[in-house]
Structure 1
Amino acid sequence: MACGQDVGLANAVSDALALVGLDGLATLSVPVQAAGDWAGRMGVNPKSTYETSAVLATHIESATVPLRLKDSGYDLGSMCGALNCDGSMRFAHLSGVFPLDSPLEPERDFKRRLYDFSSLPSGATERLVSKRFWARVGLMRGDRQDTRLEYARMYVARGFSSSDRGVFERWSEGCRPMPYRIFAPAYPIPTSFPHIVAPTAVSPPRRPYSAPTVGALASVHTGADTARLFGGYAALVEDVGRRKPEVLAAVGLEGDEVEELRDALWELRDGYAGGEDGGGDEELGEDEE
C-alpha cells in the first residue's frame, strides 16, 4: 500500500477514535464529512474553503435558528432532547437544501436536492478496506438494516411563502415519525458571501441597509443511517488491524486498545441499526411557529 493510502487510513482511524470519544462526552454530536464528498454536488469548489465554509455555515446557522427565536420554545437542551429523547441517540445528521426557490416542488426539493452532510459517502470506507473483508462482514450495499428508518427529525424552513409553507406541510405530514417543523425568516446573505447563489434565487432587501435574502431548508435528524457510519469505521479498524497494524501503532493504538475501539464501534452501529441484524464482530413532532 502506498504511503498516501497509509495516511488516509490513519486519518480515518483518528476520526473513529474521535467519534467514540464524543459518544461519551456530548449530549448530541453532528459529524460532517469532508467537503470533497459533497461540494461538487452542491455546485461549489471543494478546494475553496471560502465557498465550502459558507455552505456549511448557512446550514448550521439555519439548523440552530430555533435557539435564537423568541417564540420557538427551544433551548439547546430541549432541542437535543427532541432529537435524542431516550438519551441513546447521541449522533445526528445535518442536511439541507440551499438555495431554495419558489414555488417548491416536493419531489425535487425535499428528496433529490436534500443533501446529507453527515452520511458516509458511498464507497468511502470500501476504498480503504479489502473487498474480501467487506463481503465477509456484510456491510456493502446489501446490509440488512433499513437505513431509511428515522427516530426524530427537525426541519427549519426559511423564507417560505404561505403557499410554499402549505406545500411543505402537506408533504411532511406523510413522514413518520412526524417531524418537528419550524418556520423562520429567509437567510440573509452577508456582503462577504461568495458568489455561489444564482441571482434568480435572491430576494432584494426589504429595507434600506438590510441584506438580500434567500430561501433555505435545514434539517437535523437521528436515524438508522448512522449505523452505516459506525459500521464502516468498525470494519476499517478491524481490517487495518489485520493487514496494517503499523498504521494503528502510528495513531497510538496497540493490542487491547484496537479491540476496544473496534468493539465500541460495532456496539454503536448495532444501537442505531436497532440491534436487529447483529454486528460484524460475531463473524470475526409537533409544529412550531
Structure 2
Amino acid sequence: MKLPGNERIPKSSYQERLDEEAELMDSEPTADAGRNRAKNNHNIRYWSDYDRVFYHPRSLHRLPDVPDYENTEGDWMGGQETFTRYNEEHDVMEESFRLFVEECDYLQGIQVTNESSSFGGFTHAFLLAFREEFPKLPSITFSLLSSATPSSIEADDDFGLRRVLGDALGLQGLKELSTMTIPIQSPSSWSPGPWLEDLALDRHSYYHTSALFSSHIETATLPLRLKEGQEDTSKLCSILSWETDARFAHLGGIFPLSDSFDFRRDVGKNLYDFSALPQATVTDSDRDVFSRIDVSRGFSPSHTSSYQSWLETQRLQIRSFQAPAIPLPSSFPSFFTSLPTRPPSCTALSSLSTTKRTSILFSRYASQVDECIKRRRDMIQRMGLEIDDVKSLRDELWVLEDEFKGGESVLNVEMDEDEN
C-alpha cells in the first residue's frame, strides 16, 4: 500500500514476523517477540498491528479465497481501478454476506461483535438487513458499550450524555433485532480487584483489553463450533432465556486460573462480570441468576474436582462444557504476572448468564435518559432526536428493568409540567 505521495508504508515488525511465519510454517515464534510487543505499546501504529490477519496488497481488508486476486502483485495506487470495481460489485450488505451464507452447509445463526460508539448505527443497519433476509435465524450480539457510565455523567457534559443516549438507543435496537445481546462495559470502567492479580492488565490499552474479553467471547461461544457438539445458536439462546424470555445476558469469566485455584474458595472474588456496571460486579451467589452456561478450558484434575464440588453447592443447575486450553497466538500480549513469558496456551472459565443484575443496567440508563428529557432537551434536539422518541426510549428501558427485576412495575416516572 502507498500513501498519496507515493511513499510506501513500511510493514510493522509484527507484520514482518507474520510473513516470515507464512514462509516457514514449521518455525515457532520466540517468546521475546510477544513480550516486547506487550511492553512497548508505543511501537503500535495502526489497528492492523493488533491482528493476525494476512491482508491483500490492494486492499485494507482481508479477501479470502477470491480467485481474481490470488497471487496478484501490486500496490494500492496501481490497483485502484480494480479495487473500486471489486467494491462496487461486492457490497458488504448485498453481496458478500449472501455469498458467505451460500457457502454454509448449515447456517445456525450469526455472531456479531460491535463497538457501540462508532459502529452502533452500522450494526443496527446490518442486523436490520439480516432480519429482512433471514427472519427466523438467531443471532448473538456482543456490544461493547462506551466509556460513559449512566448516572455518573454531569448534566453539562454534552459529550458524555450523547454517548449514554447512543448506548441506550443501541440497546433498544438490539432488543428488537438480536436474539440475544451481551453488553460489555468499557474496559476503562472495569473495577480492579483480585480477578486481576495474575495479569498486568493496562485497562486503557486496546491491545490488552481486547485480548482479554475476546478470549472470553471465544470461549463462551466455543460449544457452537465443536465438530462433535450438539449445541447450536438457537439452543444456546433458548437455554439462557427459558425462564424469563430474556434477550440480554451477561459475560463473565476467570482468566487465567492459577494452579492453586479452588472454586469453593476463590470463585466469588475472581469471576468478573464484564456486563454489569462496576457497582454490581460482585458475588458468588446464584440467587439472582436465572440461567447460566459455563465453558472451562484446560482445567487440571484439581481444577475439575474443585469445580464439580462447587457446582454441587449451587441452587442453580449450571450447564457446563469442558474443552482444551486456549491456544495463544504470537500476537497475544505477554501480560501474565506469574509467568516469565507468554505461555503457549492458557486456562480459563467463561460464562454466559441471564441475571436480575441486568435490571440495574437498564434502571441507570432509564434514569439518565429521564434527566435528559427534564433538563437537557436542547441537547436532545441538537442530536436530531424527537422528544417523543426519547420518552418512548425511557419508558422501554423502565419496562426492561422491570422484566429483569420482577415485582411491581416501575413505570411510574415522575412527570414534569412540560410532559403533561
- TM-score w.r.t. structure 2 length? 0.56
The one-letter code sitting in structure 1 at the alignment partner of 2:361 is L
Equivalent residues in 2 for 1:1-289, closer than 5 Å: 5-38=157-190, 40-41=192-193, 42=196, 43-85=200-242, 88-122=245-279, 148-200=287-339, 212-274=344-406, 276-279=407-410, 281-284=412-415
Q: Which residue of 2 aligns with 1:136?
A: none
Q: How far is 1:96 from its partner? A: 0.4
Deviation per residue, 1:98-121 (Å, 9 max, x gap): 111123222553110111110012
Measured against aligned partners, the alpha-carbon deviations of 1:234-289 in whole angstroms (never above 9, x if no partner) come to: 01100111111122223332221121111100001100112x143153554xxxxx
Contact in 1 for aligned 2:359/2:404 (Cα 8 Å): yes
- Please give the secondary structure, in 1, of the residue aligned with 2:181: coil
- Bigger CA drift: 20-29 or 70-79? 70-79
Residues 108, 87 of structure 1: CA spacing in aligned structure 2 closer, same or farther, 3 A cutoff?
Answer: closer
Cα shift at 1:201: 9.3
- Give the 3 Å change call, closer, same or farther, for CA 282–148 of structure 1 in structure 2: farther
1:109 & 1:201 partners in 2: Cα distance? Answer: 24
Separation in structure 1 between the aligned mates of residue 286 and residue 395 of structure 2, nearest angstrom: 21
> Corresponding residue for 2:84?
none
Partner amino acid, structure 1, of 2:351: S
d(CA) in 1 for partners of 2:241, 2:350: 18
Structure possessing the higher radius of gyration over alpha carbons = 2
Deviation of 1:73 (Å): 1.4
Amino acid paired to 2:402: D
Return closer, same or farther for 1:149/1:71 CA change in 2, 3 Å cut-off: same
Once residues 97 and 242 of structure 1 are traced to their aligned partners in structure 2, the CA distance between those partners, rounded to angstroms, is: 41
Contact 1:95 1:115 in 2 (8 A): yes
Unpaired segments ≥5 residues, structure 2: 1-152, 416-420
Aligned mates of 2:326, 2:233 — CA distance in 1: 21
Q: Give the equivalent residue in structure 2 for 1:141.
A: none
Q: Which residue of 1 aligns with 2:134?
A: none
Task: State the AA in 2 paired with 1:92.
Answer: A
Please state how far the C-alpha of 1:28 moved relative to its aligned partner: 0.4
* Contact 2:298-2:324 within 8 A present in 1 as well: yes
Is contact 1:263-1:281 (8 Å) kept?
no
Question: Does structure 1 conserve the Cα–Cα contact (< 8 Å) formed by 2:220 and 2:351?
Answer: yes
Deviates more, 1:244-253 or 1:165-174: 244-253
Q: TM-score, normalised by structure 1?
A: 0.80
Give unmatched runs, 5+ long, in structure 1.
124-145, 205-211, 285-289
Query: 1:7 Cα shift?
Result: 0.6
Give the superposition deviation at 1:45: 1.2
Between the aligned partners of 1:69 and 1:184, the Cα distance in structure 2 is 9
Q: Which amino acid aligns with 1:279?
A: V
CA RMSD in angstroms comes to 2.5
CA shift, 1:170, in A, is 1.3
Contact 2:188 2:204 in 1 (8 A): yes
Task: Give the match's secondary structure for 1:155.
Answer: strand
Deviation at 1:184, TM superposition (A): 0.7
Q: Report 1 or 2 for greater relative contact order, CA contacts < 8 Å, sequence distance ≥ 6.
A: 1
Aligned to 2:380, what secondary structure does the other structure show?
helix
Letter aligned with residue 159 of structure 2 = V
Query: Could you tell me how far 1:147 is from its partner in structure 2?
Result: 9.4
**How far apart are 1:214 and its partner, in Å?**
1.3
Could you tell me how far 1:3 is from its partner in structure 2? 9.2
d(CA) in 2 for partners of 1:197 and 1:203? 7
Question: Which amino acid counterpart does residue 157 of structure 1 have in structure 2?
Answer: S
Q: Name the structure 1 match of 2:52.
A: none
